[in-house]
Structure 1
Amino acid sequence: MKRISSQPGNLMANRRGTLQPAIAVALLAVGAAMALVLNSLWKDAAVVELRSAAEAAALAAAGEYLNEARLDPRTDEETLAAMARQKAAVVAKANRVAGQPVLLNAAFAGDIVFGRRVDTPEYGPTFLQTDQGANAVEVRAARTRAFGNPLPFFLGGVTGQSTGDAIVSVEASFDNTIDHFRPVAGMPVPALPLAILAADPAGERIDTWQQRIVQRGGTDNFRFDAETRRVIAEPDGIPEMELNGVPLNTPASEANVLLLDLANGLDEMRINQQIIDGLNADDLQEWNGILPAQQPFNLAGMATITTPVQLAFEEMIGQQRICLLYGAQENLRVPGWAMVTCQGAVAIRILQVIPEANERATIVIQPTILTTRTAALAQFQSVEDEQQNNSWNTAAQMPQTYTPNPYIYKVYLNK
């Protein structure tokens, strides 16, 4: 009778042969699960990168659309929109998603679309595409199989999916119905302690903002080169204005510009600091931390631009800054000082500072278009905010309607 061997070695060999396929299947399942997790994380990261690129492109498009070239009546908004789409495409391409640059179609009906948000009875808030009078820009960024640039996935042979899609859509809006300016997150208001004569009710003076800028009665001798950051003696289609201070011991009413006492006591050093740095919360503390953009308020001012202040203005040549407009004024006892009513804000660029005798100076400026995060829009002002903002000056009247500011905008992401 033949005995069957039952040695342990043979049993273990048989068992290993039985377990090997199971282990392989288990490892494959674990690998597939890990690949799915990694692919999900990979896609989430790609979406974040894609959104960042789209947001940067949208903000760049809005900024370019609000180019100061729109102050030249020869410039049409279709041209500005086309330039803005190209700018957005360049900015997007500088960003990478999953190791590849973000490519946007800059055609009119492509990935960068300008338009207006309007309320319609049938559909509610609706985006209407237009390059004319736009107040928003939408950017659609995608990495999809349909466009031939999908996201590559890990272990596609195991998971059954070698690529994936990522699509984001963002919208940047821009608005110029501004209630006031307020320093935000340590960012001062980019404003000068300066006010320009708005108009002459008697119609006798022509050295006013209304005559020189609005009605385009100013000269056009300079342009600002954005690439070299230099002022060049060439026309650019934007009128200029000479701001003329007065010599010492001369009434302020003879000037068309005033340095304002925005918590600086009209002290040269403090004025210079505000010229260079802008206005912070301490400078605006008397006005509840804000600088009104439309609401009238009274301030003391000085029409003599002394040599140290002239030097500070020279450092600002080519820079964009906000300043105020003033109308009614009353000379004070101190020669060259006056109490004025400020109402309205504009954006200017200093082109030239011309020193003259006896602490007098002429500053050549032109209007510009400035975007700032410190602008507070009228559409977001509640009744309580208006009451708070008005509490410091009971004589002031809140505007019944807000006038859009052609020189100052706020750009913000809302989608």
Structure 2
Amino acid sequence: MKTFEELYRDLLERKVSLEEPLPDGYDPYHLDCLLHPEKYAPVLPVSTCEQCAYDRACQNSCIFDAIEREASGKLWINPSLCVGCEACIEACKDHHIVAGKDVLPAMKAVREAKEPVYMMIAPAFLGQFGEDVTPGKLRTAFKALGFTGMVEVALFADILTLKEALEFDSHVKQKGDYQLTSCCCPVWIAMIRKSYHELMPHVPGAVSPMIACGRMIKRIHPDALTVFAGPCLAKKKEAKEPDIDDAVDYVLTFQEVRDIFEVADIHPAELTDEWKEHASKAGRLYARTGGVSQAVSEMAEQLQPDRKIQVCSEQANGTRECMEMIQRIKENQTEANFFEGMGCIGGCVGGPKAIVEKEESRKRVDIYSDEASFQTPLENPYVLKILEELGFGTVEELLEEDSLLTRDFH
């Protein structure tokens, strides 16, 4: 029997036609997973493992209790509980679990779209598709695939930096008050919601930059198709959450985008550079651990330089460090008042579907951030341009509208 990955590759390369019955040697379940990923969890059990040699390491690795077994002993991953952190994939040494793929339905939708189609690229994108691939060349590559344009999600991280800074000003008034962030990491947010729900009042009700980007595009272009690309598998689950599933139509990983470029024979490094600068240093920094803290701290200081209590941050990488940091908070063993959690080591640059090694990616993110023409969201003219297109006169008006940037975690 051919593997899930082999079927995926053969479909991409058109060795298998969807217009004909599936040839012998392929599993129909694998085909259904590839054609209808919305029915499944972000991670998929693709082969039977009743006789596990690793004492159910996959189940033990899942802090969200998403891995269940049927009476027959067959592994099942509950789509309503799985966050897509990939801990189970790392734990299963026999490779019975793989990451889901959304390439086939996403690119079919792009080909058939009659309205604008936007690629929303995560802040960790720089260097992922080649050392010489600039943002402008990547934009040209996506247009060659049929996208109307490429939008840097970092611009919407700018807007959320303003929101988080204003939230800090509103809620942290005295010693002992604190704020939990980052809204950009669905694993961190899901962990708090499941295991530390009593701390949710300290989490600002903010959508992620991905959701903010999708919602604002659809507010300006109601019939637009929105596709997000990043290093994170958990974004596939986030985009389907019922209270925010109006924003992003499809989520691809950087590795899936690389696959598309390969089969389409598109080489971004060889294309023309359609340069546009959208985000400030603050928004670009969201790609790595500590970036949100730095962005919000600098924004809060710019808004109120004489404020008595300034941002004092602490960060954690990976679920274990995040849990340890939360324990320190609960035991009053920290002086910080702004806590940033990232589900992956290094932050988004360390995401499981990144192409470039995290230290190299972090270095490129820092360089790209330092090269920004604008240091903070308040200096970024594109923030004001977005406000104008949405019909808002001020940032405060935008932040007061619940339907765009706010969600109810309860």
The TM-score normalised by the length of structure 2 is 0.27
Q: Which has the higher contact order (CA 8 A, sep 6+)?
A: 2
Larger radius of gyration: 1
Question: Taking structure 1 as the reference length, what is the TM-score of the superposition?
Answer: 0.26
Structure number with higher helix proportion: 2
